[in-house]
Structure 1
Amino acid sequence: MSPSSAPAEPFPAEGLPLEEARRLILEALQPLGGSENLPLAEVLGRVSAEPALAREAVPGFRASIMDGYALADAGVPELGQSWRLVGRSAPGAPYEGVLAAGEAIRILTGAPLPEGGNRVLPQELVEREESSLLRLGRPAGPNPWIRAADEEASAGQELLAAGERLGVADLARLASCGVGELAVRPRPRIGLLISGDELVAPGKLRAPGCIWESNGTLLEALLARLGYGVSERRVEADDPGALRQALIELAAGCDVVVSTGGVSAGDSDWMRALVAELGEVAFWKLFLKPGRPFAWGRVQDRPFFGLPGNPVAAAITALQLLWPALQRLEGAEIKLLPRLKVHLAADLNRGPGRPELARARLQVGADGALLALVEGSQASSRLGSLQGADLLLEIPAEAGNLAAGTELWAQLLRLPIL
């Protein structure tokens, strides 16, 4: 097909609903094959390729939860009861003897209990009458203050399933169970193509009518925040020959091809026609604001995501559609942005039309209610609407002007720490 002729239009005039578009994309993708073994220090944010099992019980010995004294007594000691101090157990330096009735050892938090030890008395309950004699000066409760030998994990226990995204707590637990390296699935290699005659690199002088190119920075930083790197980034003018060659080269060296710009229906929008020539356009246009001019398909059998040229629309469609697809390619459980119910902090004026994902700040009212404040223009070209945004406010297509206090669903943009 010649790039000057647009592909046939088997697509809904208004575009696909977001959920339907996401379903079609995910159904068309399979996880990438292979895995690599990496040290634990290098796998934060990666996806486990196989289950991780505990080779032995952890901590592997009964340990004291408190600084105090270990006894042979199994029951609750009586007030005034006394014991003879016969030794000491510390982390890494356990008491080697067997504890008998009437005997006690000094024990520190985390230290192993000796054979025969059945209870730990916290040190604040015990009085030292002589250098080697202890007496219970305050009542002891039923808690023995002992950590089980398999409290963290038993031998052979699954610590982590395959396909899990590795967080801070996962790495800490694996390390505590002696795991030093892990098999992880490959991350998709992403090729990013930015097109436009008017684009000038930031920091360079621009001619009249030109703009500084920001989508590359925006998308590369967004993907990095989500745990993905851009393998190759290209900026090309709206020239069909140069764009065709860029698409071919990115498809040859990457697992996913992502473009921004040139996917609409203007005189210089070549991207859809080129993708149809080199592969297929499975669908075009979303029933969504911002983000209508979005295309999905394949370039030489590589998944292709044609993001809008306006930066806010590019970021939102990347979050809603590209991010889940990357998770599927990595073999992870698909996790979207968490949703919560909020109330509008102020009136919001709009006209019915398309479903909208409005950028908003999260506030907490005096009564503890969660509030969403929409500030300034929501134009898809205005990057300022993303700055400081905590939420993507889900506004139904049929909604017109909305009064303060209206309850809406919102997607939380802040990512978890652990």
Structure 2
Amino acid sequence: MKPPIPLVEAQARLLASVTALPAENVPVEAALGRCLGEPLAAHRTQPPADLSAMDGYALHLGEEGPWRVIGESAAGHPFPGTVGPGEAIRISTGALMPAGADAVLLQENATRDGDVLSLNGEGEPRARHIRRAGFDFRQGDELLPAGTRIGAAQIALALSGGNAALPVHRLPRLAILDSGDELAADPANCAPHQIPASNGAMLAAMARGLAGSINRIGPVPDDLDTLAHALEQASGADVIVTSGGASVGDHDLIRPALQTWGAEIDFWRVAMKPGKPLLVARKGATIVLGLPGNPVSSFVTGYFFLLPLLRALAGDRTPLPLPIPLPLGVDLPAGGSRMEFLRASLTDGKAMPVSEQDSSALRAMASAGLLIERPANAPAAPAGSVIPAYWIENGGVA
């Protein structure tokens, strides 16, 4: 049996052959959470003309006043005439600068008596109170590079750039297969020898927003032919995720079922804790992730393998999660021979491992908001030392 491969190598092997799914045009607001398939260009200039950056009066720079107020320019309602020497117009933030005016006197620096405007001694007209045409971007500029994930600010930018639709990569179709004779579909009706099937629901929740569709299959019993048939049911998916049955026991049948179905195993077993019995297989364009059955192991491997895979297929340029440096709240002993991820909470700005680290302990997992990364053969780490941690609240998808 080959030794487990390091986590970084396993992630690299998984993502190396991934090609982003084809792009499609969708309305801008429907592109939320998706990634651009090509660079996004501006179809208009923003601002389209010189605008006032403040409330006040538009006039000629360098004049000391007094001025005669001859009209008003409000946002969406420009002044139609020209401002001559000794003249001013009332202007609002975001309003078009009128012809002939090249400065804005702030409202708080002016005194007005009827149509007569004068300085109050608190300031003077400043040209810097003008947002020049093209200050933000000009027609033809690249607004966003390909691969950008669309969020709220990107939606606003795309619309401001005159884009009604965006070319975004299709989201992957995901199938999730729960397997195990011990799993009960009804959590309210479990025999003593059963446990509720929860991994599929957990993985579906983690993947929501990253998958275009999610097909839940199972629980499927530990039977070779039944498992192979379930894989065939899922064959239209871009990604199939199995939970359970990937280890070395007599009833761990995912590997032989994949081979019976016609898939080719890429690699099996990763040097990480929890999550060692992870496997990756392929059949045609479909990628299969075989995750461990213990719920914490399934969560952690889903976080480091399933979510990056879905992001990469959706065109994300940086699909892997990034660690956050945090100080430890307690001393940690030396680590073991595998990279380990400790469940932890953020307390007073410090990473505090939860008390129970067993890979079946869901209550401890649910109370954790972080994963502390401990390298293989890590030396003891005292409280206060800075360690890498991963934010996992909401499954790490936010």
Q: Scaled by the length of structure 1, what TM-score is found? A: 0.89
Q: Distance in 2 between matches of 1:47 and 1:165?
A: 4
User: How much does 1:143 deviate?
Assistant: 4.9
Tell me which of 232, 251, 263 is aligned to 1:248. 232
Tell me which of 259, 263, 275 is aligned to 2:258. 275
Q: Distance in 2 between matches of 1:163 and 1:30?
A: 12
Cα distance, 1:401–1:209 mapped onto 2, change above 3 Å: farther
Tell me which of 231, 243, 248 is aligned to 2:214. 231
User: How much does 1:386 deviate?
Assistant: 2.4
User: How much does 1:410 deviate?
Assistant: 1.4
Runs of at least 5 residues in structure 1 that lack an aligned partner in the other structure: 1-8, 365-369
For 1:261, give the aligned amino acid.
G
Tell me which of 354, 358, 362 is aligned to 1:383. 362
The answer on 1:285 being equivalent to 2:285 is no
Q: Distance in 2 between matches of 1:62 and 1:400?
A: 61
The answer on 1:48 being equivalent to 2:36 is yes
The answer on 1:100 being equivalent to 2:84 is yes
Aligned counterpart, 1:136: 119
Q: Distance in 2 between matches of 1:351 and 1:280?
A: 34
Q: Distance in 2 between matches of 1:351 and 1:171?
A: 45
Q: Distance in 2 between matches of 1:102 and 1:90?
A: 21
Cα distance, 1:301–1:134 mapped onto 2, change above 3 Å: closer
Contact 1:192 1:230 in 2 (8 A): no
User: How much does 1:299 deviate?
Assistant: 3.2
Q: 1:69-95 CA distances to partner (integer Å, 9 max, x unpaired)?
A: 000x233x44xx210111110111100
Contact 2:46 2:133 in 1 (8 A): yes
User: How much does 1:334 deviate?
Assistant: 2.2
Q: 1:102-132 CA distances to partner (integer Å, 9 max, x unpaired)?
A: 1100011111001111001111111113x11
For 1:26, give the aligned amino acid.
L
User: How much does 1:406 deviate?
Assistant: 3.5
The answer on 1:410 being equivalent to 2:389 is yes
Q: Distance in 2 between matches of 1:286 and 1:36?
A: 36
Map 1:345-360; keep pairs closer than 5 Å: 345-349=329-333, 352-360=336-344
For 1:299, give the aligned amino acid.
K
Contact 2:369 2:391 in 1 (8 A): yes
SS at match of 1:303: strand
Tell me which of 43, 52, 75 is aligned to 1:64. 52
Q: Distance in 2 between matches of 1:152 and 1:169?
A: 14
Contact 1:202 1:214 in 2 (8 A): no
User: How much does 1:336 deviate?
Assistant: 2.4
Map 1:7-22; keep pairs closer than 5 Å: 9=1, 11-12=2-3, 15-22=4-11
Bigger shift: residues 287-296 or 268-277 = 268-277
Q: What value does the CA root-mean-square deviation take over the aligned residues?
A: 2.0
Q: Distance in 2 between matches of 1:400 and 1:126?
A: 68
Contact 1:297 1:304 in 2 (8 A): yes
Map 1:104-123; keep pairs closer than 5 Å: 104-123=88-107
Q: Scaled by the length of structure 2, what TM-score is found? A: 0.93
User: How much does 1:141 deviate?
Assistant: 6.3
Bigger shift: residues 340-349 or 158-167 = 340-349
Cα distance, 1:351–1:125 mapped onto 2, change above 3 Å: closer
The answer on 1:29 being equivalent to 2:18 is yes
User: How much does 1:178 deviate?
Assistant: 2.5
SS at match of 1:144: helix
User: How much does 1:188 deviate?
Assistant: 0.8
SS at match of 1:341: strand
Q: Distance in 2 between matches of 1:170 and 1:259?
A: 35
Q: Distance in 1 between matches of 2:106 and 2:56?
A: 4
Runs of at least 5 residues in structure 2 that lack an aligned partner in the other structure: none
Tell me which of 242, 245, 250 is aligned to 1:262. 245
For 2:354, give the aligned amino acid.
E
Q: Distance in 1 between matches of 2:382 and 2:45?
A: 58
Contact 2:184 2:195 in 1 (8 A): yes
User: How much does 1:331 deviate?
Assistant: 2.1
For 1:254, give the aligned amino acid.
A
Q: Structure 1 vs Structure 2: percent identity of aligned residues?
A: 38
SS at match of 2:327: strand
User: How much does 1:301 deviate?
Assistant: 4.4
User: How much does 1:329 deviate?
Assistant: 1.6
Matched residue pairs, number? 394
